Structure 1
Amino acid sequence: MRQLLAIASMAAMIAVPFSVQAQAQSPFAKPEDAVKYRQSAFSILGTHTGRVGAVVKGDKPYDKAAVEADVAVMETMSKLPWSAFPAGSDLPNSKAKPEIWKEQDKFKAAAEKMQGEVSKLSTAAKSGDLNAIKTAFGAVGQSCKACHDNYRNK
């Protein structure tokens, strides 16, 4: 019995790194799941970006708490979609360009740049300085546009 338990324990220890490695490759069961996940994350990110954008443009009155809350969601969402671009998820219902998979380092750098700009926007939102928010928001918009221009089909 002890021998069987020892063998089972050893097998479990050996299997864990392999299952973790498989998950690191893609946490999605099907490519369609990855597309749906990243589209959902980008949709939520876009909604909250639009809310802040309305304030920045003057279409909506500035409310520090609301902007801070929207930017907090943006900051969280800016980190989520990137794991959802595994090989094979370049499906017809996706707007992702093939360059994503050909230029992984550049794509990753663009994602990190956007996350950094959103982090700066978060700092500005917490400060309550509307001019700082406008400046930081503009940089977020530029980083989003650069990525869309290079890696997203219209």
Structure 2
Amino acid sequence: MKKMLMASLALLLAGQAFAADPISQRQQVFKQYKTTVGAMGKMVKGDTPYDKEAFAKLASQLEQLSQQPWQYFPAGSDAGKTGARPEIWSKPADWQKVIDNHKAATAKLKQVAQTGDLDAIRKQFAETNQTCKACHKDFRKD
């Protein structure tokens, strides 16, 4: 019983440590991004059959995800541990601009996905991906 209690306590403390670590939190959100964008990309490329409802649901998930990771970039939360560039913190206005552009693009993709117009969806999906690339270009080391 004592061992079980100690194991439970260790798991609880580990969970709290994870919740307090902004690097782990943002990495978790970006893992969800990768999964969501990957599934969407397969549909727009024709690797998997296009499903209007499934794509719209993924677009909605992406729009929700686009609101999340930025809060997990507080000053001093990197110190060379990740691929984040110091410009995130030294150029906050530029950082905010790419965030805002990305949020706007994901919101538009969510709207376009509701139409079911695959050509329009492909176009907006590509534009949304460009906002991801813009952030990686200026604010990510790799």
Calculate the TM-score normalised by the size of structure 2.
0.84
| Secondary structure class of the residue paired with 1:150 | helix
Once the two structures are superposed, what CA deviation does each residue of 1:19-54 show, in whole Å capped at 9, x if it has no partner? xxxxxxxxxx89x71111111111101210111111
Matched, 1:44 2:32: yes
Q: CA deviation at 1:93?
A: 3.0
* Higher alpha-carbon Rg: 1
Matched, 1:33 2:33: no
Task: Report the Cα distance in structure 1 between the residues aligned to 2:118 and 2:107, rounded to whole angstroms.
Answer: 16
Task: Report the Cα distance in structure 2 between the residues aligned to 1:117 and 1:128, rounded to whole angstroms.
Answer: 17
Give every structure 1 segment of 4 or more consecutive aligned residues whose post-TM-superposition deviation is greater than 3 Å.
Answer: none
Calculate the TM-score normalised by the size of structure 1.
0.77
| Secondary structure class of the residue paired with 1:62 | coil
Once the two structures are superposed, what CA deviation does each residue of 1:67-124 show, in whole Å capped at 9, x if it has no partner? 0111111010000001111111013332111111111010011011001000110011
Residue number among 115, 120, 134 corresponding to 1:132 in the alignment: 120
Structure 2, unpaired ranges of 5+: 1-16
Q: CA RMSD in A?
A: 1.5
Aligned ranges for residues 136-151 of structure 1 at < 5 Å? 136-151=124-139
Point out the more displaced range, 127-136 or 32-41: 32-41
Aligned ranges for residues 70-81 of structure 1 at < 5 Å? 70-81=58-69
* Identity over aligned pairs, percent: 38
Equivalent pairs, count: 125
| Secondary structure class of the residue paired with 2:70 | helix
Structure 1, unpaired ranges of 5+: 1-28
